Amino acid sequence: MTESEQKLKFNISKGHEVIKSYLKTLDGSPGVYRMLNQDGEVLYVGKARNLKRRVSNYAKPTGHSARIGRMISNTSSMMFLTTQTETEALLLEQNLIKQLKPRYNVLLRDDKSFPNIMISSSHEFPKIAKHRGRRSKDSEYFGPFASVTSVNRTLHHLQRIFLLRTCTDNDFSSRTRACLQYQIARCSGPCVGKISEKKYNQLVDDARKFLKGKSTKIQESMAKEMTEASKNLQFEKAASLRDRIKALTTVQSSQGINPQTVNEADIVSLHMEGEQACVQVFFIRANQNWGNRAFYPRNTSGADADEVMESFLAQFYDNKTPPKLILVSCSVANVDLLIDALTVKRGNKVEIIVPKRGERSELVLNAARNARESLARKMSESATQAKLLKGISEAFSLESIPNRIEVYDNSHIQGAFAVGAMIVSGPDGYMKSSYRKYNIRYEDTVAGDDFGMMKEVLERRFKSLIKEDPNKKTEIWPDLLLIDGGAGQVSAVDEILSELGVNDVPFVGIAKGIDRDQGKEEFYCKGKPAFALQRNDPVLYFIQRLRDEAHRFAITTHRAKRSKAIGITTLDEVPGVGAARKRAILAHFGSAKSASRASLKDLKAVEGLSSKMAQIIYDFYHDKG
């Protein structure tokens, strides 16, 4: 037995004695337990139908896998929470795993919300649009779709087939003539009276049916209507219906991979290789394939497939409504418990099935093939990324290979709409969930002062870090900062980090060189002369991509801020003028400038505007003048 093996055996013995000391205080209640190391870091979160029985398993000195053995050896204390039922324990466990991110739990990464298609019902002419985030009671939602691309493609087809509007309510109410969407046969023009409310809402009902998988009846109805129009010599109408039928047929024929016997389901397939795992999720809704997405859970080394699948499903549906059917590629640990929890979340019965034959089995096999291929690509990319990170470490003489690189950039137009941006990269590439944007707001930051803006962004970033994790125990602290700029920016960074007492985070400035040609970047480090890398160095290309990504994110954020500000008018400053009154005034006068010049009589003529409110608006602009 080697020295390390002896040390591990001793630590396991010590760990299981610590665990054993808690048994006398536990009973058979269901609940959640946490294992902590000597620094108070949570190593593992688990659930139990019977806490005493589950914990007693860890108190045994032998019979553990290598992964569990390491966990026990690091355990210095435990915490317990009892619950009424094991289902409650499962839900609490997953919440704690997402919050604490323990080292030995299987963790779902990049669990973003999925986009949906929304049909609003708060307007007499409902609009259709893509939606992500909080849902409103006044709208219907169809989804989820795997990506924005899937949503946009479906919306494009829906516009061609059903001619529904996608404009905002504000644009709708302010239009005086039909927009381009009407001209190219993508909208029926309800804003300017080109279609009645009754006929428009029939189109909305047809779109709902299509999204629920009832497109055959819609096609039959359109064909009948086209025949009638042709008999009545309404050839323009008949041609329009013909084009819509053709578009609907194209959608149906291009979706040959759509299942015939599965109306609503999520297909979840797992592939594990070495210490890595990939889960592919396909979304089937209304007998249509609405796309797929790959996930790469963390901490799967040493875990069994059924444990990984259980953890993935529990965390994946933590913030989503599950479908009525989930088809999986392997057995799921505690499947009955998971079904109970998902059934409660959905409000009616949820099934989790490992299909053995037929179309369902083919769907799972297809997802499994995608999982296998995705994992192979991911492992190849990770190997390349690891070489690049090692190259960065060598290029900038870092003490270790960086696991988290933060890149900063600013964007503004002559100081207006100024924003700072931070992107993050690591062993798995861009960490987009960690991106941050900063609206420049300090009073002493001069508009257009890039040094001042960078100092403000870094001060806010690191004050937040110090408050959230003063002892640097988590992975949120950067191992390297890349700053877009030269000696001036590096000096500004050095100043603010020194003021905050942060002296162990290296930083590098990236400047484009004298002639600003790509490929001649110069790098600035504190206390060193500027230097450059070889033009064909892969590390240089990698740094350029990081800088370009930060620039893209900063520009996108700046444009969004500018676009939002452009929609603001002086009417927003008038007391008592909300969104509805603003729309009415703009629809009547065409612009806030025209409203500001209007007489009191003209203001009173605005529909829905009282005489008192008209007087307030008139006085507001009169006083300003």
Same domain, 533 and 620: no
Contact 532, 513 (CB under 8 A): yes
Contact 427, 379 (CB under 8 A): no
Residue 463 lies in a domain: yes
Contact 353, 326 (CB under 8 A): yes
**Sequence-ordered alpha helix ranges (H) in 396-485:** 450-468
Same domain, 373 and 268: yes
Question: What span, in angstroms and rounded, lies between the C-alpha atoms of 235 and 243?
Answer: 12
Residue 255: the pLDDT is 45
**Sequence-ordered alpha helix ranges (H) in 255-280:** none
Q: Is the pLDDT of residue 348 over 60?
A: yes
Share of the chain above pLDDT 90, in %: 33
CATH of the domain at 474: 3.30.420.340
Confidence at 492, pLDDT banded by 50, 70, 90: confident
Q: Is the pLDDT of residue 624 over 60?
A: no
Which is higher by pLDDT, 245 or 21?
Answer: 21
Same domain, 413 and 531: yes
Question: What span, in angstroms and rounded, lies between the C-alpha atoms of 461 and 463?
Answer: 6
Closest by Cα among 257, 265, 260 to 355: 265
Structure tokens at 550: 């930060």
Same domain, 207 and 223: yes
Residue 171: the pLDDT is 82
562-581 in b/e form (b: 16+ CB < 10 A) is eeeeeeebebeebeebeeeb
Question: What span, in angstroms and rounded, lies between the C-alpha atoms of 394 and 466?
Answer: 28
Q: How far apart are the first and last CA of the chain?
A: 91
The domain in which residue 576 lies consists of: 570-624
Region 251-260 average pLDDT:
55
Closest by Cα among 466, 485, 487 to 554: 485
Share of the chain above pLDDT 70, in %: 88
Which is higher by pLDDT, 47 or 186?
Answer: 47
Same domain, 425 and 468: yes
Give the other-Cβ count within 10 Å of 610's Cβ: 12
Region 20-40 average pLDDT:
91
Residue 229: the pLDDT is 73
The contacts of residue 247 (CB under 8 Å, 6+ apart) are: 157, 160, 161
Residue 447 lies in a domain: yes
Same domain, 545 and 526: yes
Residue 108 lies in a domain: no
CATH of the domain at 341: 3.30.420
Q: CA 250 → CA 65, 182, 219, 246, 605, distances in Å?
A: 54, 21, 12, 6, 50
Q: What is the secondary structure of 181-202 as a DSSP string?
A: HHHTTS---GGGTSS-HHHHHH
> What's the predicted TM-score (pTM) here?
0.72
Which is higher by pLDDT, 573 or 125?
Answer: 125
Q: Which long-range contacts (CB under 8 A, 24 or more apart) does 56-60 make?
A: 56/20, 56/23, 58/16, 58/19, 59/16, 59/19, 59/20, 59/23, 60/16
Question: What span, in angstroms and rounded, lies between the C-alpha atoms of 333 and 318?
Answer: 17
Residue 248 lies in a domain: yes
Pick from 201, 232, 254: which residue ends a domain?
A: 254
Residue 450: the pLDDT is 76
Q: What is the CA radius of gyration of the chain?
A: 30
Confidence at 337, pLDDT banded by 50, 70, 90: very high
Same domain, 314 and 454: no
Pick from 358, 377, 396: which residue ends a domain?
A: 377
Q: Which helix (H) or strand (E) holds 55?
A: helix 51-58
Residue 164 lies in a domain: yes
Question: What span, in angstroms and rounded, lies between the C-alpha atoms of 478 and 425?
Answer: 10
Residue 397 lies in a domain: no
Pick from 223, 254, 285: which residue ends a domain?
A: 254
Q: Is the pLDDT of residue 200 over 70?
A: yes
Residue 520 lies in a domain: yes
Q: Which long-range contacts (CB under 8 A, 24 or more apart) does 126-130 make?
A: 126/164, 126/201, 126/204, 127/164, 127/165, 127/166, 127/167, 127/168, 127/169, 127/172, 128/155, 128/158, 128/159, 128/162, 128/164, 128/165, 128/166, 128/204, 128/207, 129/155, 129/166, 130/155
Confidence at 570, pLDDT banded by 50, 70, 90: confident
Region 363-390 average pLDDT:
91
Residue 390 lies in a domain: no
Confidence at 254, pLDDT banded by 50, 70, 90: very low
Structure tokens at 278: 């990939």
Same domain, 529 and 429: yes
Q: What is the pLDDT of residues 424-459, one digit of tens each?
A: 999 988 998 899 999 887 666 666 677 788 888 899
Question: What span, in angstroms and rounded, lies between the C-alpha atoms of 48 and 22?
Answer: 15
Q: Is the pLDDT of residue 34 over 90?
A: yes
Same domain, 272 and 332: yes
Which is higher by pLDDT, 536 or 423?
Answer: 423
Could you say which DSSP state residue 39 is in? T
Confidence at 256, pLDDT banded by 50, 70, 90: very low
Which is higher by pLDDT, 183 or 416?
Answer: 183
**Sequence-ordered alpha helix ranges (H) in 573-610:** 579-589, 592-597, 600-604
Region 316-337 average pLDDT:
92
Place of tokens 């004695």: 17
Residue 625: the pLDDT is 40
Confidence at 305, pLDDT banded by 50, 70, 90: very high
Same domain, 196 and 345: no
Confidence at 161, pLDDT banded by 50, 70, 90: confident
- Split into its structural domains, the chain has a count of 5
Question: What span, in angstroms and rounded, lies between the C-alpha atoms of 178 and 436?
Answer: 39
Same domain, 558 and 448: yes
Q: What is the pLDDT of residues 593-620, one digit of tens each?
A: 778 888 888 888 888 888 888 888 888 8
Strand-pairing partners, residue 36, are: 42, 77
Structure tokens at 559: 């444009």
**Sequence-ordered alpha helix ranges (H) in 75-124:** 86-100
Residue 11: the pLDDT is 58
Q: Is the pLDDT of residue 478 over 90?
A: yes
Q: Is the pLDDT of residue 355 over 90?
A: yes
Region 260-264 average pLDDT:
83
Region 132-158 average pLDDT:
83
Same domain, 80 and 133: no
Q: Is the pLDDT of residue 69 over 70?
A: yes
Which is higher by pLDDT, 239 or 433?
Answer: 433
